[in-house]
Structure 1
């Protein structure tokens, strides 16, 4: 089973990213998926968690993801021990930041990938919504999901007026991370 934990703030789209990943895998790659949020006080800007599980067989565990293969951080101000806790050795931590990966001290045997998803989103969408470029960074770094499946999920899930810009944003972030690996 592959498990992903998403750290974001209310309004950044962490749950939408978890859901898009789930849609891409379930519908377009025919695997079993769970995608669900965990909210504290539901207000814009409050820390939120979202989770995605992927497996070839039915998933019966409904608990929050504690031990995970991948962690995605949509806002680098959330970085701390709670972010890296439970990240498996050999896992990947993807952080939206202007800083280099070396700025995030490692507490285990995992890879840190950084991307300025905010700048990409501002450039392409005109808004600092980082869920799609962070999903792209994860897909590029992890290689567990086909990027075409995610582009199809964007068509399936996002409103028609924002689909093309989000697909362009996904492709730009995906290409950026792939080019740096």
Structure 2
């Protein structure tokens, strides 16, 4: 049986969700993993809901379809909860990382996860991005949080990927 780690990203257009999935994929690839990273969106206007996905494995990935049962769900805009199916297809032990100032208990209730074994983490990724890069780009702090709570990617691998691929774009 093939084994994959599946990640689903939820956000709005211009929040860097597609870029986050790409960065995660690149960092995993640089770490020796097999990866897929792909978006799901149309000609969205700024602020429209967007999803992106990652599939990560130690072995070649032969599956080529949408991620329908993600173990990890990252939500860049908590206002999407209740409007799009952020919990759809998630297993009981799913991990949710949410950009919000609310505490994990409140978010667990909003997600309808009371009584489940899912883990819910929250961080104010908007404020973190404003304070560090001067722009509202919650994707980068969410990537850091993912590295902290998982074993399939390290913060060092993400930083190395940023330095190699994005340093010129964000240098002053």
TM over 0.5: yes
Deviations 1:117-150 (A, max 9, x none): 0111111111111110011111111232121111
Give the structure 1 partner of residue 121 of structure 2: 113
CA distance in 2, matches of 1:119, 1:163: 20
1:145 to 125, 145, 153: 153
The TM-score, its normalising length taken from structure 1, stands at: 0.85
Alpha-carbon shift at residue 41 of structure 1 (Å): 3.6
Count the aligned residue pairs: 163
Q: Is the contact between residue 3 and residue 70 of structure 1 (CA under 8 Å) also seen in structure 2?
A: yes
The TM-score, its normalising length taken from structure 2, stands at: 0.89
Structure 1 or 2: more helix by fraction = 1
RMSD over equivalenced CA pairs, Å:
1.6
SS at match of 1:37: strand
1:16 to 16, 19, 22: 19
CA distance in 1, matches of 2:142, 2:67: 19
More off after superposition, 115-124 vs 81-90: 81-90
Give the structure 2 partner of residue 86 of structure 1: 89
Alpha-carbon shift at residue 58 of structure 1 (Å): 1.1
Q: Is the contact between residue 154 and residue 163 of structure 1 (CA under 8 Å) also seen in structure 2?
A: no
Alpha-carbon shift at residue 15 of structure 1 (Å): 0.9
Give the structure 1 partner of residue 170 of structure 2: 162
